[in-house]
Structure 1
Amino acid sequence: MIPPSHAPRFLALNGWEGARILPLAGDASFRRYFRVVKDGARAVLMDAPPEHEDVGPFMRIAGHLIERGFAPPCILAADVAGGLLLLEDFGDDRVGPLLQREPGRERDIYEAAIDILADLHREPAPRDLDPYGEEAMTREVGLLTEWYAPAVGVAPDEGAWLEAWRSVWGGILETVNRRPVLVLRDYHADNLMVLDDPRRLGLLDFQDALAGHPAYDLVSLLQDARRDVSEELEEAMIARYLDKAKVEDAARFRADYEILGAQRNSKILGIFTRLWRRDGKAHYTAFQPRVWSYLERNLAHPALAPVRGWFDAHIGPDKRAAAWQTDAAA
């Protein structure tokens, strides 16, 4: 967490000469974040190395959200070529850590997060966004067979895997083609900030947004890989969303929710295994049992029978939630 060499000059050009640059966070990508402090003022420096990242999408989505009354961090300064953004500092109250300290606030915060999604989905996605359709979803579920399966000693039938998915997501693709919404894609507790207004949450990590199905971010929030979300809370928040968003066909929406949950959780199993095997970040394997618990909940829905059949044939109970974690931790 050493700031890039061009950061002090960038800060000096934008009124922050001599500011302290303190490590704040890194994530599963190449992006890193630093807190900038000068004379009692604070901001956040995003370092997105341009050889790996592009700050343009973050800037475009932030502008779209601000125009519609949501709360991403304001962009105070930008060096697009150098991969630096100076952002509004929302403080330290990320929802995940805050709820560890104050669990009694869970329901109120989740209700606020649900209401944000319902409001966000009242209008179609921006026209210039790529679709979160069959190509993207196929690529993502492929992460499970590419990374997770070999890690547990399975050589899967990839053709049958993809065919199982194609047989279940037709209704989702119809929604994406007909009226997509803005899907932030990592809408969960660690990317939400509690602000002064308890009904208003700060939004982070939305640069990979696509035009997709409204159930996706709902799944991301309620089947959170990094924290336990009880089935009771999940059901209550799904019901709240259905009411607030005025969903007409609740049964179809619920089927789509479970399909997208299985798709997302399969992807996450692959990504976390890749972070361990390729990038040496073994701590991500600690989340796998929780992700499996969500995935098995998804697979119980009748709409996922073909995908459940594939799992039963290829990745049995002894290959789930992972005996191989002990190897990862070693």
Structure 2
Amino acid sequence: MKPQTELNLPSGLDDFLQQSGWERSIVQPLPSDASFRRYFRVSDSANGNAMLMDAPPPHENPGPFIDVAEYLTGHGFRAPKIFSKNLDRGFVLIEDFGDRRMREHLDAQPADEARIYMQAIDTLINLAHTECADLPPYDEASYLREVRLLTEWYLPAMQIDFDQSEFDRMWNDALAPVAGTQVVTVLRDYHAENIMLLDDGTQGLIDFQDALIGHPAYDLVSLLQDARRHVSAELETEMLDYYITRAEPDYDFGHHYALIGAQRNTKIIGIFTRLWKRDGKLRYLDFLPRMWALLERDLNHPQLAALKNWFDTYIPKDIRKIAPNTLGTE
């Protein structure tokens, strides 16, 4: 094991741990992802294990994570308990849910898929019947700002000419049916890598700091159209039917689900292109074929014909197969 001085630990950590009563802890870094946040496992013979979130300002603000965690635990959901915090430094010491993520478990035990996905959907149904958190709305302006990531990053990288005003009008028209459906707490990153399988049989929730008040379909899309884990079309259909049967929405949920899916997948294609182009994270381009396949599945819904026509016109299927980094863009 490396000495802690060689682990690139954040400055001020020793003082924080001492003030929190974890001064004799062993700290080990965990793999980082697409943000400035870093996570460490903190082990102490007296206290057991905890997770340390290092969310350094001004790049990160742990306040929203803490607020949503306390909302979730306060309403009976399994979010990490907050043990200690220093918002000025961006340190948060939280409950450790272990290493058993839904993704790795199902990769090893695919026979458990239906049961575990149903349990995850039950959480969403329960969340929909719970008083909303005090959060901003995930409204049409937010949807439009997000889909513009495609025109800000992907289309220029692919050297595709387009009319921004036409793009905006198309999405404004398409999104009109979901106006007024910002009615549930949306965790916004609800998928197999952010759902922990706990020893007591429950599922733990993590990575919800971007939560908003939004459409009931959003987290379901995030779960069933996972950017990083393959969910078969058959399982997606089965789980969508399970949700509709249990939740009994009084509108065309299939249309809304496909529309929210198209919006989300369009956004993610833009984000993954940005992670490559701006941040030098080439590996995110490997996910683009999956994202195009998911987006095409959504666009096949008959009520999304206008969106499908735009994509087929400006980004036909042969173009979608080309990786942006192979075009020699500046």
* Separation of aligned partners in 1, 2:185 and 2:31: 26
SS at 1:283 equivalent:
helix
Partner of 1:324: 324
CA contact (8 A) 1:99 1:105 kept: yes
* Separation of aligned partners in 1, 2:228 and 2:45: 35
* Separation of aligned partners in 2, 1:100 and 1:9: 40
CA contact (8 A) 1:119 1:245 kept: no
* Structure 1 residues without counterparts, runs of 5 or longer: none
Partner of 2:72: 65
Specify which of 170, 176, 184 is matched with residue 176 of structure 2.
Answer: 170
Partner of 1:139: 145
1:93-104 to 2 correspondence within 5 Å? 93-104=100-111
1:94-243 to 2 correspondence within 5 Å? 94-126=101-133, 128-176=134-182, 180-198=183-201, 200-243=202-245
* Separation of aligned partners in 1, 2:27 and 2:141: 40
* Separation of aligned partners in 2, 1:283 and 1:184: 25
- 1:279 equivalent to 2:308? Answer no
Q: What letter is aligned with 1:312? A: D
SS at 2:193 equivalent:
helix
Shift in Å, 1:104: 1.9
CA offset digits 1:273-324 (Å, max 9, x no partner): 1001110111111111111110000001122112111111211112214333
Partner of 1:263: 263
- 1:45 equivalent to 2:52? Answer yes
Q: What letter is aligned with 1:134? A: E
Q: What letter is aligned with 1:225? A: A
SS at 2:31 equivalent:
strand
Shift in Å, 1:171: 1.7
Shift in Å, 1:325: 5.6
SS at 1:26 equivalent:
coil
Q: What letter is aligned with 1:167? A: D
Q: What letter is aligned with 1:234? A: E
Partner of 1:11: 17
Shift in Å, 1:326: 5.4
1:275-314 to 2 correspondence within 5 Å? 275-314=275-314
TM-score in terms of structure 2 length: 0.94
**Distance of aligned partners of 1:298 and 1:9 in 2 relative to their CA distance in 1, 3 Å threshold:** same
* Separation of aligned partners in 2, 1:113 and 1:326: 39
Q: What letter is aligned with 1:255? A: H
* Separation of aligned partners in 2, 1:17 and 1:298: 51
Partner of 1:20: 26
* Separation of aligned partners in 1, 2:247 and 2:166: 36
Greater CA drift, 163-172 or 263-272: 163-172
What is the count of residue pairs matched by the alignment? 321
* Separation of aligned partners in 1, 2:26 and 2:161: 51
CA contact (8 A) 1:61 1:207 kept: yes
* Separation of aligned partners in 2, 1:254 and 1:321: 28
CA contact (8 A) 2:158 2:327 kept: no
- Identity, in percent, stands at 50
TM-score in terms of structure 1 length: 0.94
* Separation of aligned partners in 1, 2:152 and 2:309: 19
SS at 1:53 equivalent:
coil
**Distance of aligned partners of 1:325 and 1:239 in 2 relative to their CA distance in 1, 3 Å threshold:** farther
Specify which of 63, 76, 84 is matched with residue 77 of structure 1.
Answer: 84
Partner of 2:8: 2
Q: What letter is aligned with 1:308? A: K
Q: What letter is aligned with 1:117? A: L
Greater CA drift, 315-324 or 143-152: 315-324
CA offset digits 1:53-80 (Å, max 9, x no partner): 1111111111111111100111110001
**Distance of aligned partners of 1:76 and 1:175 in 2 relative to their CA distance in 1, 3 Å threshold:** same
CA contact (8 A) 2:37 2:55 kept: yes
Aligned-residue RMSD, C-alpha = 1.5
**Distance of aligned partners of 1:226 and 1:298 in 2 relative to their CA distance in 1, 3 Å threshold:** same
Q: What letter is aligned with 2:120? A: A
